[in-house]
Amino acid sequence: MRNLVEISDVVVENFSVGVMKRLGLDYEKCRTLRPDIIFIALPGFGSDGLEAGYAAYGLTQEAMSGLSGITGYPGEIPIDTGVFYGDPTGGLFGATAVMTALWHRSITGEGQRIDLSQREAFASILPELVFDYTMNDRVQESIGNRHPQFAPHGVYPCLGDDAWLAIAVKSDKQFRSLCEAIEHPTLANDLRYSSGSNRLQNQDELDRIIGEWTRQQDQHEAMRLLQSQRIPAGAVLTNQQLLEDQHFEARGFFEEVTHPDVGTYRDIGMPWKLSDTPVHARLPAPGLGEHNDNVLGEILGLTADELCSLEERDVIGNVPLNTRE
């Protein structure tokens, strides 16, 4: 590992605080191996502070970032997203931080250590929580699918088994268009719904009226109808529906990837499209130890005998240790 550090630009680690030092690979040691190294640590709660040694998983990150506290329905327990956004958020912020440090090094020749708290990265994408308290002295609570300022704003049942439509109306103009679309044009002139503040006060009845209409509609047809009137609406899709989505198909979002272990399957493509240099999946996800020969042999320069010795000592390999007979 030390030999790899000597020829590397960046060291990335997300162990608990103290692990890299016990391994003899903390930042100070890596600097002796390569003085201009970029070293990024991504512990759950940062490398110092009262909670530096805390264990972190996606659920705990959501809870301690403030997200769980506003996720769910009024009067019910907090709900996790089921996706655990803390992990990818930390990765995205980490990539940006590394690029910043590399840019600094290209100008000054200096490396540096990056201490990235995944909890802080998560909290930074929830600025409304902070500003609502610092500027309004207000503690946010769970409000389900509703919005604190706009109505109607929710998810409504449609024809079929577990089919739903999300509708978000921001302005009086959009609300008038919605009333026309659901064949209740007089609602727009009803004093209970004639302004945004009035709609907020009468959401239960308004949601009931909209739900009566959506229950008779196919979710996609209703979405297209409302969107044709410039009303923000979207079908709530399952993972199967995502893979079958015609818009994604037209844009070529999903790509076919062939993996030696699982065969050919559709995978998520890049969400950006470059006009001159199209980006596609070059390789499938790597298998365990798949690139040992390339990294340790071709890049680091270990001989075949040295690689065999590492395999015999179970330092490297392509079969998990706990599955070997």
What are all long-range contacts of 21-28, with beta carbons under 8 Å and residues at least 24 apart? 25/1, 27/113
**Distance, CA of 91 to CA of 118 (rounded, Å):** 9
- As given in the structure block, the two tokens for residue 97 are 């931080």
pLDDT (tens digit, 9 = 90+) per residue, 55-104?
888 888 899 999 999 999 999 999 888 888 888 899 999 999 999 999 99
Q: What's the pLDDT score for residue 83? A: 81
**Distance, CA of 130 to CA of 128 (rounded, Å):** 5
In sequence order, the 6+-apart residues with CB closer than 8 A to the CB of 136 are: none
Q: What's the pLDDT score for residue 324? A: 61
Q: What does R_g of the chain's alpha carbons equal in angstroms? A: 26
Tokens 């559709």 correspond to what residue? 266
Q: Give me the DSSP letters along 298-313.
A: IIT---HHHHHHHHHT
Please report the domains of the chain, with CATH numbers, ordered by start residue.
2-136 (3.40.50.10540), 153-236 (3.30.1540.10), 292-323 (no CATH)
| The pairing of beta strand 112-115 with beta strand 38-41 | parallel
Compute, in degrees rounded to 10, the torsion defined by CA atoms 238, 241, 246, 249: 90
Number of residues that this document lists for the chain: 325
Tell me if 158 sits within 8 A of 217, measured CB to CB: yes
- Identify the CA nearest to 17 among candidates 32, 30, 27, 31: 27
Classify 78 as helix, strand or coil.
Answer: coil
Q: Give me the DSSP letters along 143-157.
A: -TT--SS-SSEEEEE
**Is 204 annotated as catalytic?**
no
**Distance, CA of 167 to CA of 209 (rounded, Å):** 13
Q: What is the pLDDT along the chain (325 residues), one digit of tens a residue?
A: 899 999 999 999 999 999 999 999 999 999 999 999 999 999 999 999 999 988 888 888 899 999 999 999 999 999 888 888 888 899 999 999 999 999 999 999 999 999 999 999 999 999 999 999 999 999 999 999 999 999 999 999 999 999 999 999 999 999 999 999 999 999 999 999 999 999 999 999 999 999 999 999 999 999 999 999 999 999 999 999 999 999 999 999 999 999 998 999 999 999 999 999 988 888 898 999 999 999 999 999 999 999 999 999 999 999 888 776 6
Catalytic residue from among 87, 172, 190, 267: 87
**Distance, CA of 301 to CA of 272 (rounded, Å):** 36
Q: What's the pLDDT score for residue 325? A: 60
Tell me if 197 sits within 8 A of 138, measured CB to CB: no
**Distance, CA of 144 to CA of 74 (rounded, Å):** 7
